[in-house]
Structure 1
């Protein structure tokens, strides 16, 4: 709870312009809801330093000190918890809040930017002490973040980095290095194809740093290291299993030489797996598949021999969020980017590591 009196938190947000930014949904099916309720995999750990000499402090941000025990934490989730990643992420925030003696108030934007702006305003109106935001998109949250700043509520962003001003609109970003994920996916695909393949790339939703990083990391790594890997097509599948299946089916008809798929996330990769099977080919052998996330369904597909690799993107941010907040309210300067450690699932370790998947 806050230890000093604060100003009124009522703020008015203009939704019209945000609505015009209409986004491609990141929602995916995933048979995930039941998995997350019992999720007990490894928690996200910082690979980079939480603090930095020129980082953000609560005094620099101009917000009051908060005792995390008894605090009200508003969590604005971006996408439905039917997605395995989001379900595990939400659960980790709730669990960490409970362990810290805080109360978590959770909203879900259902992949809609205007709704996320409205959700954040509602959390402000409910007088939360801290906001944790998993952004729908890297752009467009400025009205909501400005309202939080005016209400003297610090914001931690997770998973996607916003383009707004650090130590004004938000304290820090916690998440993966998405370019490195793309590079590692290229290396994993090269290993599975003996560095020779015709690859279809399934991209994520446009307009966020996750899609950009995973695409650029993969493409640039292929260009730099693997001259015999040819990228024959790149098309958006919007992180969706259904779209991954439809797009892959079309690409296999247009480019029958495709013998490998790099997917933005596991859901689009699992859609590709289904399309490959429908085309009368064997996923995992005739057409290799590598993706990013670490869902149980994708890792199980590796065990079953129908998938070739997954670069982990750990969604269990809860403990790291609260460790960051503890140091923030201890007066330490928090780094702008707190990068987490991500593992990798391969045919050699997938069976043993299946319990770590989400």
Structure 2
């Protein structure tokens, strides 16, 4: 290759890279340390506690300053928290949106302010704010696939015949939306699986218990429960036992998250299975930020690999669960 050809090739490569990166996203300088915000949605369950600890531990390991906020279950407060981070001119923002639509405007505000944003765990409304264009990337699990995996297990375990009570996650949140759709799309091919009722338990154990207390009275013929997270499933188990039902024997339960207490319920024979939704984001989130600052091409969606737990592996996996 002569010098002219090499020069032209280099120019083409540079233009190609520039085109790939010409998303209008804010720049991020390479620095030894960063000051970043982590806007958490709430801290009322083991999954959120594990996620927050993962982010804090990795920031400490790297020597970064982590500005942490807790929205306490309020989308309005979380939007205000993000705006506070923008006003503080942090280097970057990690946001785990409580709900899709209320948090979408602040994503665009961060972009206009020149602050790169990374969406982790839950998503925002992608019809308005797109990964790779308005924020750097979505990092998290495939919620739709989680719903499908739960449905697949239930169909197999019940031999395609079940009357299901569905405990929905927080209304308007991306996991609740996708976990519901994934489950329903799968069982649509199995007419013997009937969803009797779907009602939100807001991803909490106490609300899951209260909702199940009412629903099992209204639907005593239910033979299965699909809960969008383990906390609601564990609350449902308490309610079912109080109503004289025998979870794991006369009613089958499947849920999502993979927390330690759920694996213990599987070992005890009360919960049938749980699809993991890994909360340990710290290493992956901060490495993605460093790669972005270094000019590496970042995929708009970075999907976690999640495990599946049932009686075959729950005991062996207990120590690695959160």
TM-score by length of 2: 0.89
The aligned counterpart of 1:156 is: 118
- CA–CA distance in structure 2, aligned partners of residues 217 and 84 of structure 1: 24
Secondary structure at 2:184's aligned position in 1? helix
The aligned counterpart of 1:187 is: 152
Quick check: which one's helix share is greater? 2
Asked if the contact 2:27/2:116 (under 8 Å) is kept, the reply is no
After TM superposition, give the deviation of residue 100 of structure 1 in Å: 2.6
Asked if the contact 1:311/1:344 (under 8 Å) is kept, the reply is yes
The aligned counterpart of 1:336 is: 300
2:246 aligned to which of 266, 282, 287:
282
Once the two structures are overlaid, the 10-residue window that deviates more, 232-241 or 150-159, is: 232-241
The aligned counterpart of 2:226 is: 262
2:65 aligned to which of 103, 112, 123:
103
After TM superposition, give the deviation of residue 177 of structure 1 in Å: 1.0
Secondary structure at 1:61's aligned position in 2? coil
1:76 aligned to which of 32, 39, 48:
39
1:304 to 2:278 alignment: no
After TM superposition, give the deviation of residue 326 of structure 1 in Å: 2.0
After TM superposition, give the deviation of residue 141 of structure 1 in Å: 2.0
Once the two structures are overlaid, the 10-residue window that deviates more, 252-261 or 242-251, is: 242-251
Asked if the contact 1:199/1:232 (under 8 Å) is kept, the reply is yes
Q: How many pairs are equivalent? A: 304
1:137 to 2:102 alignment: no
Post-superposition CA distance 1:246-286 (Å, at most 9, x none): 22122211111101100011111111101110111111111
The higher-RCO structure (CA 8 Å, 6+ apart) is 1
After TM superposition, give the deviation of residue 58 of structure 1 in Å: 6.7
- CA–CA distance in structure 2, aligned partners of residues 62 and 278 of structure 1: 54
- CA–CA distance in structure 2, aligned partners of residues 144 and 54 of structure 1: 28
- CA–CA distance in structure 2, aligned partners of residues 329 and 279 of structure 1: 56
Please say which structure displays the higher CA radius of gyration. Answer: 2
Summarize the alignment of residues 88-237 of structure 1 with structure 2, pairs less than 5 Å apart: 88-163=50-125, 164-224=129-189, 226-237=190-201
After TM superposition, give the deviation of residue 101 of structure 1 in Å: 2.9
After TM superposition, give the deviation of residue 193 of structure 1 in Å: 2.1
Secondary structure at 1:93's aligned position in 2? helix
Change (3 A) 1:244 1:65: closer
Change (3 A) 1:55 1:280: farther
Structure 1 unaligned runs (5+)?
A: 1-52
- CA–CA distance in structure 1, aligned partners of residues 19 and 298 of structure 2: 5
Change (3 A) 1:133 1:58: farther
- CA–CA distance in structure 2, aligned partners of residues 60 and 198 of structure 1: 48
The aligned counterpart of 1:355 is: 319
Secondary structure at 2:152's aligned position in 1? helix
Once the two structures are overlaid, the 10-residue window that deviates more, 194-203 or 284-293, is: 194-203
- CA–CA distance in structure 1, aligned partners of residues 314 and 281 of structure 2: 22
Change (3 A) 1:126 1:348: same
Asked if the contact 1:57/1:331 (under 8 Å) is kept, the reply is no
Asked if the contact 2:147/2:182 (under 8 Å) is kept, the reply is yes
Change (3 A) 1:317 1:54: farther
After TM superposition, give the deviation of residue 88 of structure 1 in Å: 0.7
Give the superposed CA RMSD. Answer: 2.0
After TM superposition, give the deviation of residue 56 of structure 1 in Å: 9.8
- CA–CA distance in structure 1, aligned partners of residues 232 and 133 of structure 2: 36
After TM superposition, give the deviation of residue 341 of structure 1 in Å: 0.7
